[in-house]
Chains A and B, each alone.
Chain A
Amino acid sequence: MTYRDAVAHAIAQEMARDPSVVFIGEDVGAAGGVFKATVGLLDRFGPTRVVDTPISEQAIIGAAMGAAMTGLRPIAEIMFSDFFAVCWDIVANEIAKARYMTNGQLALPLVIRSANGGGARFGAQHSQSVENWAMAIPGLKVVAPSTARDVAGLLAAAVRDPDPVLFFEQKSLYPSRGEVPDGEVVDELGRAAVVRRGSDATVVALAAMVPRALEAASLLCADGVEVTVVDLRSLVPLDVTTVAASVAETGHLVTVEENPRLCGWGAELASIIAEEHLFDLDGPIVRVTTPHVPLPAADALEDAAMPSVERIVEGVRRSLA
Chain B
Amino acid sequence: MKELADLATSASHEAAPPPRDVRLRIYARMVEMRDFEKRAHDLFLQGLVKGTSHLGLGQEAIAAGFGAAMAPGDYTFATYRGHNHTLARGVAMAAVMAELMGRAGGLMAGKGGSMHLTTVGKRMMGSYAIVGAHLTIANGAAWSAKLRGTKDVVVCFFGDGATNIGAFHEALNLAAVWSLPVVFCCENNRYMEYTPISHVTAVEHPAADRAAAYGLSPVLVDGNDADATYAVAVAAIARARAGEGPSLVEAETYRHGGHSRADPGKYRPEEELQAWLSRDPIPRYRQRLVESGVDASTLEEIELSSARAVDEATQEAMASPPPDLFVVERDVWADGGSSWRR
Contact = CB atoms under 8 A, between A and B. Distances in A.
A167 B158 CA distance: 32
A59 B147 contact: no
A68 interface: yes
Given A102-B118, A162-B334, A62 B140 contact: yes
Interface string A103-136: 1111101000000000000000000000000000
A62 B139 CA distance: 7
Most buried by A among B134, B170, B178, B339: B170
Contacts of A58: 133, 136, 166-167, 170-171
Contacts of B171: 58-59, 62
Nearest to A22: B147
Contacts of A90: 133, 136-137, 167
B75 interface: yes
Nearest to B145: A70
A66 B112 contact: no
A320 interface: no
Contacts of B118: 101-102, 105-106
Contacts of B145: 70
A14 interface: no
Contacts, number: 164
Nearest to A235: B340
User: A interface, how many residues as a size bin?
Assistant: 35 or more
Contact of B120 (A66, A101, A106): A106
Contact of A99 (B121, B142, B174, B331): B331
Contact of B137 (A48, A94, A236, A240): A94
A91 B263 CA distance: 30
Contacts of B310: none
A101 B327 CA distance: 11
Contact of A101 (B112, B154, B330, B338): B112
B341 interface: yes
B173 interface: yes
A238 B141 contact: no
B173 to A, nearest CB: 6
Contacts of B166: 58
A72 B334 CA distance: 16
B140 A99 contact: no
Contacts of A272: 341
Contacts of A109: 334
A241 B342 contact: yes
Given A56-B174, A62-B140, A62-B167, A101 B147 contact: no
A131 to B, nearest CB: 14
B333 interface: yes
A104 B336 contact: yes
A101 B333 contact: no
B304 interface: no
B300 to A, nearest CB: 37
A99 B327 contact: no
B64 interface: no
B285 interface: no
B235 interface: no
A48 B111 contact: no
B126 A98 contact: yes
Interface residues of B, number: 51
Interface string A234-251: 001111110000000000
A53 interface: yes
A161 to B, nearest CB: 8
A94 B130 contact: yes
B144 A105 contact: no
Most buried by A among B125, B177, B327, B340: B340
A56 B173 CA distance: 9
Contacts of B177: 54
Interface in B279-326: none
Contacts of A57: 170
B140 A67 contact: yes
B254 interface: no
B135 interface: yes
Nearest to B108: A103
A237 B339 contact: yes
A72 to B, nearest CB: 5
Nearest to A49: B147
Interface of A: 22, 48-49, 51, 53-54, 56-59, 61-72, 74, 89-90, 93-94, 98-107, 109, 138-139, 161-163, 190-191, 236-241, 272
Closest 7 CB pairs of A and B: A66-B140, A62-B136, A162-B334, A59-B170, A56-B170, A66-B141, A103-B108
Interface of B: 75, 107-109, 111-112, 116, 118-121, 125-126, 128, 130, 133-145, 147-148, 154, 166-167, 170-171, 173-174, 177-178, 327, 330-334, 336, 338-342
25 contacts: A48-B147, A49-B147, A54-B170, A57-B170, A58-B166, A58-B171, A59-B139, A62-B133, A62-B136, A62-B137, A66-B136, A66-B139, A69-B141, A72-B148, A74-B140, A90-B167, A102-B111, A102-B116, A105-B119, A106-B120, A109-B334, A162-B334, A163-B333, A238-B340, A238-B341
Given A94-B128, A101-B108, A102-B108, 11 more contacts: A54-B173, A58-B171, A61-B136, A62-B136, A62-B170, A66-B144, A89-B133, A94-B137, A102-B112, A104-B330, A105-B108
